[in-house]
Amino acid sequence: MTATTDERPLRRIDNILVIVDPTASEHPAVRKAYRIALQCAARVELYACETTASREDRLAAHLTRDTRENFPAALQSLLEPLAVSGRQQGIDVSVEVEYGDPLYARLLDRTARTSADLVVKDTHHHSLFERTFLTHTDWHLIRGCPVPLLLTRPTVWRDSIVIAAAVDPTHVNDKPHVLDERILDWSAYLAARSHGSLHVLHAFLPLLPEAAVAGEGAAMMTVLAADVVARLQQERMAEVSTLAGVHAVDARHVHVRMGVPVDVLPQLASEIEADILALGAISRSGLQRVFIGSTAEKLLEHLTCDLLVVKPPDFASALPFY
């Protein structure tokens, strides 16, 4: 891989893996993957996994339609029309179908075996039950996909897309510094390839002064908090601007705001009308489990734009852990 003059590695997308839901009638992930493929001269693999549940859903939907057509038992018949539309645009598209349960394990196995530089999948809002018991597929992909993962909504990107990169130069929870660089590298690469614009976002919570924690009065805490917030705002802006400066991001596109990231990042993304929000996920190893920072998962339920999840460079060494 070549390097830039400042020895930063160039990101590159040559292969894209698209996870196709065989029960869906619309496939925005395919449409968006084709757009990226055209901009990056990349190949695309359309991959679908048939589970017992998806086959039952497809059959039930088929029986409710007033049709004389035979039930499409083979998924190839569903994927091939999608592949043809890509090939007609000049994209090298292949189709891969597998069968088995559980779905999340099959998808993680496929992402581990793929040579893809980017994985793309449609997503949607999940029920409180699913979020509480962590059963939905996106949860597992965020934790286990070793390459950047783009989770797409049924939205249409503008001609010149806006990509927002969420960074955290304070490295809270031991988040590696290199992860911010990877988030910015991938965001800048996609923005450049799409002739779009790059914004850099940061949300922070000020630490309470020791006097306030000790409970020396609400008035004193209010005065100290205002002073702390002003100082931290300036410090964080300087740190984030330094990160953004590596990619020559316009100063007007650097946004620092106090608040909880799960609340602030969707607000900022909405204000700048972002098409994609990029952020990092990190692993936590325990006795027998590996945990990923939960911000990405919570954001799935609050964002109206697409989400790009980026991992540290050593992430794959912790796999498999599902």
- Dihedral of the alpha carbons of 261, 264, 265, 267, in degrees to the nearest 10: 160
Q: What is the CATH architecture of 161-322?
A: 3-Layer(aba) Sandwich (3.40)
Residue 88: both structure tokens together = 């007609």
Map out the domains of the chain as residue ranges: 11-122, 161-322
Q: Residue 86 has what pLDDT? A: 98
* Residues in contact with 40: Cβ distance below 8 Å, sequence separation at least 6, in sequence order: 12, 13, 14, 193
- With residue 177 as reference, give the H or E element that holds it: helix 177-193
For helices 177-193 and 218-245, the axis angle rounded to 10 degrees is: 60
Strand order across the beta sheet in which 254-258 lies = 93-99, 43-50, 15-19, 118-122, 149-152, 306-310, 276-280, 162-166, 197-204, 254-258
- With residue 308 as reference, give the H or E element that holds it: strand 306-310
Residue 85: both structure tokens together = 């539309």
Q: Residue 304 has what pLDDT? A: 87
3-state secondary structure of 127: coil
Q: Residue 228 has what pLDDT? A: 73
* Cα 256 from Cα 4, distance rounded (Å): 28
The candidate with the shortest Cα–Cα distance to 92, out of 42, 46, 18, is: 42
Q: What is the pLDDT along the chain (322 residues), one digit of tens a residue?
A: 333 334 444 578 999 999 999 888 899 999 999 999 999 999 999 999 988 777 777 777 777 876 667 766 678 888 999 999 999 999 999 999 999 888 889 999 998 888 899 999 998 655 554 444 434 788 788 888 889 999 999 999 999 999 999 998 876 555 667 889 999 999 999 999 999 999 999 998 776 544 444 444 444 444 546 777 788 889 999 999 999 999 999 999 999 998 888 899 999 999 999 999 999 876 554 433 334 456 666 777 788 899 999 988 766 555 544 4
Q: What is the DSSP string of 226-292?
A: HHHHHHHHHHHHHHHHHHHHTTT--GGGEEEEES-HHHHHHHHHHHTT-SEEEEE--EEE-SS-EEE
The candidate with the shortest Cα–Cα distance to 86, out of 120, 35, 150, 121, is: 35
Sign of the torsion angle spanned by Cα atoms 105, 33, 253, 11: positive
Q: Which of these CATH numbers, 2.130.10.10, 3.40.640.10, 3.40.30.10, 3.40.50.620, describes 11-122?
A: 3.40.50.620
- With residue 307 as reference, give the H or E element that holds it: strand 306-310
> Same fold for the domain at 11-122 and the one at 161-322?
yes
Residue 18 one-letter amino acid? V
Decide: 259 and 275 in contact? Cβ < 8 Å. no
- With residue 309 as reference, give the H or E element that holds it: strand 306-310
